[in-house]
Amino acid sequence: MTPPNDNTAEMDLTLSRTFVVQNKMGLHARPAAMIVRLASRYAKTDLWIAKDNEQINGKSIMALMMLAAAKGSELKCTAVGPEGQSLLHELEQLFERKFEEA
């Protein structure tokens, strides 16, 4: 898997959305696992998540946790593949529900 770039001639659709981490504890192990489980259901679509100047594979729990995304962090999520719109829609729901945390 390679991150999307302008030099790659891809037939896949690339869509991006920015989400704000709203849950009190930030993106700790449980929310990270929820993102990985969701993204892994979309085998034909890659998920890249960027915070500040760092971009990681959204299907890697360790990489997600290393982002250290606290409450209020903005995460740019880029889906590359045929199911990107569905993936980003489900991801939006996770963020809106604050990963089912109070």
Q: Which one of the listed residues 28, 38, 55, 90 is annotated catalytic?
A: 28
Cα–Cα distance between 34 and 16 in angstroms, integer? Answer: 19
Q: Is the dihedral of CA 82, 84, 87, 93 positive or negative?
A: negative
First to last CA, the chain: 35
| Residues in Cβ contact with 100 at an 8 Å cutoff, skipping those fewer than 6 apart | 34
| Known catalytic membership, residue 28 | yes
Catalytic residues: 28
